[in-house]
A and B are shown apart, each in its own frame.
Chain A
């Protein structure tokens, strides 16, 4: 049983996203730097242990760098522009005098500890959320995610597949063209005007025409291999699905307006708000029917369909439970642990429930089947 559970296989692509969103929601509800650092650590642990050796997994490092950059930028902004200043001044920088019409903006001047901490906490929160999403991106092949889309979203998925394939190639073309450009620039006598003119001509034009050629080649290849076969909806069906889909989206926007701007308006039936629930059901139903009409024509099957099994549920719980725990703490007796007060110089602490939340978030690193490595020749994959 346990052996079967831990057979290497990739998890359902949605589940990592749900887990990561759960952790991102948890991060969004706190400015406690210790807790945020904990979340980053948990995310790193799970990503490193479960991302396998796939090429898209290499992007995680970039997300970490981006996170660090955001934190630095936030703190640097506080130094330059100030804001949230407190009494504890660490450093006296000369204020740059600005004309009167830019009142409210300050350049340099005294740098207070409070201001820096605000920048740090805030930046750290944003960085954590971005790293969470980066982790999802590294754990799941974006193309697999697209492949798991419902049939009706197929066309959208295709557009994304083409762009996903073309982007890395764009990078390759750029490297090649730059190299060749150096060749031509290096040996002709310098013609500065031409060279300045040349950036657009010599780099952008070849790279873009290359990308265009490749996109067309890819589209032709998909066509040749039967993409979109027999999937032509009739004009009436298209019109009906567009109408229903658009109608559903409009109803949903009205619903969100009522929910956000004027909650509680409309008749109640017991504890249920009839107007809100009614609009929600109408909107979703419209979209579902629209997708059904379009999706009816798409007859395709999936190779190694992603299945939802026990490990998927475990990961989902490990993603949602921490967010729920943080929610409980926020509504509990001592919500200030989530937002340690800066003016009072409250030292951030991680209490028992928060530590538990982190622990649960980290469990997927141990409780999921390991990923399949691309070099392994193991023919068996899970139970499929």
Chain B
């Protein structure tokens, strides 16, 4: 269905190849999962399918691309609209109209679909996506998951042969992401559309995937069966990692398979529980917030919350989007509104906001670092040195907006940390990061805790919380629902359990590392 022959791509700004003679063929009706580290060229590869790359991004591309037997190498993107449906990361950025129904119809309007036919297809799409009750709603008033469903609907309404989805869940919270991925897998089964999907929450979709495309950092591309590609992939979901480390055959892709393979260990452990790493002891309290209330017109975002942060302790703040995590953080930091409550701390508090790039406005990383030095009255070069210790590979001359998400966060962190704050608040730093970038971030957070700082991380990422956080606070509706050691909170919860703990349950092991240590005895 989709055939790449020796496709090579280079962007004009650098000599680096982004795709190095990519050659593969995807069969009709196949769901192909595209994986690779952040910045490896997944989006570039997906953009090549409908020629968005290089037509919209610039660059030089060689090689041949054929879709459904038609050579599309030089066709303009708009001429491919009937063949390839494309859904990007941020649904809101792609909306052309402002009402759900009109958005669904937009593509068909452009294609000149007959009015009665269009009406029928819009109705069908509304039902297929289960959004019929939203039909007249303005797009901006929808939740993130609903918006992404509309975006997918607006593409499939014109019945393209190929559906290309570029990280459709990266801007969503886990529940909304679940919603969208469930929809995608249903579409694949029901409609038989050929789908190319880049997704960093790959554990949710690998079971439906027929094949995998791995884009390596050196720009080479490998296509093959899921298990084979997963083995050679530098990034794997924890369950697959566990399977590889334990030498399980075949590699488990679902929790069900994992549980079956781990049955012997589980049996052993229920008789003699494995030794668990001791819970780290918390230091002195450095920040005490009592009775925090944050109100916006018509909503109470945070409802009478008490929170104490301790020296050297990493605390995860979890809960669905809009449960008050950000509001609480901003209120604690002092820059946000606070209707009532007291924050007792004589320490410096740093907050890294959700859109970290808003904090970066100078023209180069180096200038940002110099500004950081100046702001903290430090010797020139201190921030730059700190940044290099965080991410050694960063190019100091590049523009902050050109950095990957992970690098942006690192720069913001460096600028913030150089002032030597005692309390660091991170608002969803894992958004859009892949496993590798998350590992780097985890190391940075760990270092901060080692240095005696109190860290509060708002995150949706249970694996991240399990590996780096000592304590987990769960919020709902502006209130703290549970607060306790990470192991107790995560392992006992249905929704917040890590993949490993789902496999080992009822034994409360959280990470691959813990499982392997316990299995070794």
Contacts and interface: CB of A to CB of B under 8 A. Distances in A.
A147 B348 CA distance: 54
Given A226-B82, A303-B122, A377 B109 contact: no
A301 B335 contact: no
> Which 7 pairs between the two chains have the least Cβ-Cβ distance?
A226-B81, A303-B105, A221-B94, A226-B110, A217-B93, A188-B375, A225-B107
Interface string A350-374: 0000000000000000000000111
Contacts of A227: 78, 96, 110
B368 to A, nearest CB: 11
A301 B96 contact: no
Contacts of A4: none
Given A180-B359, A220-B88, A229-B78, 11 more contacts: A182-B335, A187-B333, A188-B375, A188-B376, A191-B375, A220-B52, A220-B56, A223-B77, A226-B79, A300-B109, A377-B135
30 contacts: A54-B138, A55-B141, A179-B335, A180-B353, A180-B359, A182-B335, A187-B335, A187-B350, A191-B375, A217-B88, A218-B94, A220-B52, A220-B94, A221-B95, A223-B76, A224-B50, A224-B77, A224-B86, A224-B94, A226-B82, A228-B78, A229-B78, A229-B112, A299-B112, A301-B112, A301-B118, A303-B106, A373-B136, A377-B132, A377-B135
A267 interface: no
A183 interface: yes
Interface string B102-145: 10011111111111001100110000000011011110110000
Nearest to A378: B136
B199 interface: no
Given A141-B98, A217-B90, A221-B94, A189 B377 contact: yes
Interface string A206-248: 1001000110111111111111111000000000000000000
Contacts of B115: 301-303, 305
A106 interface: no
Contacts of A223: 52, 55-56, 76-78
A229 B110 contact: yes
B88 A221 contact: yes
A301 B358 contact: no
A169 B459 CA distance: 26
Q: Which of B55, B132, B375 is most buried by chain A, counting CB atoms within 10 A of its CB?
A: B375
A304 B52 CA distance: 30
Nearest to A230: B79
A206 B377 CA distance: 25
Contacts of A161: 96
B438 interface: no
Contacts, number: 166
A344 interface: no
A224 B56 CA distance: 10
A268 interface: no
B166 to A, nearest CB: 11
Interface string A236-275: 0000000000000000000000000000000000000000
B296 interface: no
A374 B139 CA distance: 11
A236 B491 CA distance: 71
A155 interface: no
B112 A217 contact: no
Given A206-B358, A301-B118, A225 B135 contact: no
Interface of A: 54-55, 141, 143, 161, 165, 168, 176-177, 179-180, 182-184, 186-189, 191, 194, 201-202, 205-206, 209, 213-214, 216-230, 299-305, 372-377, 379
Contacts of B76: 223
Q: Interface residue tally of chain B, by bracket?
A: 35 or more
A201 B467 CA distance: 38
B159 to A, nearest CB: 12
Nearest to B126: A379
Contact of A374 (B78, B137, B421): B137
A290 B123 CA distance: 38
B81 to A, nearest CB: 3
B155 interface: yes
Given A55-B98, A227-B78, A183 B351 contact: yes
Contact of B81 (A177, A201, A218, A224): A224
A179 to B, nearest CB: 7
Nearest to A221: B94
A184 B106 CA distance: 42
Contacts of A183: 330, 333, 335, 351, 353, 359
A189 B377 CA distance: 8
B358 A176 contact: yes
A304 B119 contact: yes
Contacts of B94: 217-218, 220-221, 224
B340 interface: no
Interface of B: 50, 52, 55-56, 76-79, 81-82, 84, 86, 88, 90, 93-99, 101-102, 105-115, 118-119, 122-123, 132-133, 135-138, 140-141, 154-155, 158, 330, 333-336, 348-351, 353, 355, 357-359, 361-362, 371, 374-377, 401, 419, 421
Contact of B358 (A143, A180, A218, A373): A180
A221 B107 CA distance: 10
Contacts of A226: 78-79, 81-82, 107, 110-111, 158
Given A217-B93, A302-B115, A225 B154 contact: yes
A361 B441 CA distance: 65
A338 to B, nearest CB: 41
A227 B419 CA distance: 50
A299 to B, nearest CB: 4
Contact of A229 (B79, B86, B97, B421): B79
B109 A303 contact: yes
Contacts of B50: 224
Contacts of B353: 179-180, 183
A333 to B, nearest CB: 51
Given A143-B98, A194-B374, A55 B118 contact: no
A187 B114 contact: no
B106 A225 contact: yes
A292 B517 CA distance: 76
Contacts of B141: 55, 374
A376 B136 contact: yes
A219 to B, nearest CB: 8
Nearest to A223: B77
Contacts of B86: 224
Contacts of B93: 213-214, 217-218, 221
A224 B95 CA distance: 12
A209 B98 CA distance: 23
A75 B400 CA distance: 51
A376 B134 CA distance: 9
A219 B359 CA distance: 26
B93 to A, nearest CB: 4
Contact of A221 (B96, B333, B371): B96
Contacts of B135: 377
Q: Which of B77, B78, B81 is most buried by chain A, counting CB atoms within 10 A of its CB?
A: B78
A303 B101 contact: yes
A44 to B, nearest CB: 23
B364 to A, nearest CB: 13
A81 B123 CA distance: 63
B455 to A, nearest CB: 16
B77 A165 contact: no
A229 B82 CA distance: 10
Nearest to B110: A226
Contacts of A224: 50, 52, 77-78, 81, 84, 86, 94
Contacts of A143: 97-98
Contacts of B105: 303-304
Contacts of B334: 186
A145 to B, nearest CB: 13
Contacts of A188: 375-376, 419
A129 to B, nearest CB: 28
